A and B are shown apart, each in its own frame.
Chain A
């Protein structure tokens, strides 16, 4: 059974304090790992798709990396507007997307 575990559950950062969110996964044949951002009461907003170990993608202050067992979402010099829940999901072909519970990020000015 495909599984995704995200850590930490919650993270509080000062503005400008860089950090990383972790996504560990077990899946039979990875067809893609996905990062989404979700604001309270809204639908997830697509950030990145990673397909193979060693792949990296960047968007503004966010950088996603992938290994054979986990993915990291690095946040460089975060701003208060980066506060949200960040969701990680995998696709193995068994289920289109299996999600973790997310990491709630708060960035304090």
Chain B
């Protein structure tokens, strides 16, 4: 049973660039959430997608956007990158009817 997968594993960008991160949910799951985790901090909720719609959103600027595809996979896009966007980006999947989320290995983004 495949768990949550994310790509790429690492990424280096420069300020002002744009980045796209990808996530495939655990088999059978229909809901994808994205989190940002700075060093030494707990993950912070960015947004959640279900049925290709943004269902909930955390306190992140519009530079952060996402998409969910018919096969439930998802993308996170960040525009106009800032140094402060350097973090581990985590994708989690779940069933819309359940609260427990399962996380992928993350994408480490470094903005120079």
Contacts and interface: CB of A to CB of B under 8 A. Distances in A.
Interface of A: 4, 31-32, 34, 36, 41-46, 49, 87, 89, 91, 95-102
A49 B108 contact: no
B100 to A, nearest CB: 5
Contact of A44 (B6, B33, B90, B108): B90
Contacts of B90: 43-44
Contact of B33 (A34, A43, A96, A101): A96
Given A43-B105, A44-B90, A32 B42 contact: no
Interface of B: 4, 6, 33, 35, 40-45, 48, 56, 58, 88, 90, 92, 94, 99-106, 108
A97 to B, nearest CB: 6
Contacts, number: 59
A34 B103 contact: no
A43 B104 contact: yes
A32 B44 contact: no
B42 A101 contact: yes
Contacts of B4: 43
Given A31-B99, A43-B106, A96-B101, A101 B40 contact: yes
A8 to B, nearest CB: 14
A98 B100 contact: no
B103 A36 contact: yes
A42 B41 contact: no
Contacts of B101: 34, 46, 96-97
Contacts of A36: 103
28 contacts: A4-B42, A32-B99, A34-B101, A41-B108, A42-B105, A42-B106, A43-B4, A43-B106, A46-B100, A46-B101, A46-B102, A87-B43, A91-B99, A95-B45, A95-B56, A95-B58, A96-B45, A96-B48, A96-B56, A96-B99, A97-B33, A97-B35, A97-B43, A97-B45, A97-B92, A98-B45, A99-B43, A99-B44
